[in-house]
Amino acid sequence: MNQPKVQGTLLGFDYGLRRIGVAVGQTVTQTANPLTILPADNGKADWEQIADLIREWRPAALVVGIPAHADGSDNELSPRARRFARQLQGRFGKPVYSVDEHLSSHAAASTGERRPGEAIDDLAAARILEDWLKQ
């Protein structure tokens, strides 16, 4: 799938039931960096914290990782991640794109940037965003 012609800063999200990882990236460099990990209450986002990030970074678009099984089929979290993506678009009026993220957490854990047991959601968000940028 070809990505739309979006230019500038992007925010990427690794949606989860307990945490939502956030990364910031640039279309020019096609790179992303971990930004923060936001708490989630059974998948419910802290919309004020997300609004603060959007005000601060003024992204041209948002990218949400959609979890899937290895064969590409939906898993139990897929519908909730899609709903989160729709809510982002509805609340902030920014273009929202999605990307398959079924191996992002595994890839983030294998970087060695965090000690075992430390949250890696922001690293996973950076991987999601970079994967989308390189499509």
User: Is the residue at 1 inside a domain?
Assistant: no
Nearest of 6, 12, 11 to residue 28 by alpha carbon: 6
CB 104 within 8 A of CB 127: yes
pLDDT of residue 72: 84
Contact (CB, 8 A) for 6 and 61: yes
Do the domain assignments include residue 3? no
The answer to the question of residue 40 being in a domain is yes
84: domain range?
9-133
How far, in Å, CA of 22 to CA of 63, rounded? 10
Question: What tens digit of pLDDT does each residue of 8-66 get?
Answer: 999 999 999 999 999 999 999 999 999 999 999 999 999 999 999 999 999 999 999 99
User: Is residue 90 in a domain?
Assistant: yes
What 8-state DSSP symbol labels residue 114?
A: S
22 in Cβ contact with 13 (< 8 Å): yes
Closest CA to 63 of 40, 94, 39: 94
What's the CATH number where 59 sits?
A: 3.30.420.140
Q: Which two tokens stand for residue 69?
A: 């099984």
pLDDT in tens, 86-127: 999 999 999 999 998 865 555 555 555 545 557 889 999 999
pLDDT at 69: 85
pLDDT above 50: residue 134: yes
Please identify which residue in the block is written with the tokens 């899937």. 68
In the prediction, which pLDDT does 71 show? 86
pLDDT mean over 64-80: 91
The residue among 86, 99, 89, 107 whose CA lies nearest residue 134 is 99
Residue 113 has a pLDDT of 59
Q: Quickly tell me which residue has 């990427």 as its tokens.
A: 12
* Residue 4 is assigned to a structural domain of this protein: no
24 within a domain of the structure (yes/no): yes
Number of domains in the chain: 1
CA distance 14 to 127: 9
Cα separation, 44 vs 20, whole angstroms? 10
Residue 2 lies in a domain: no
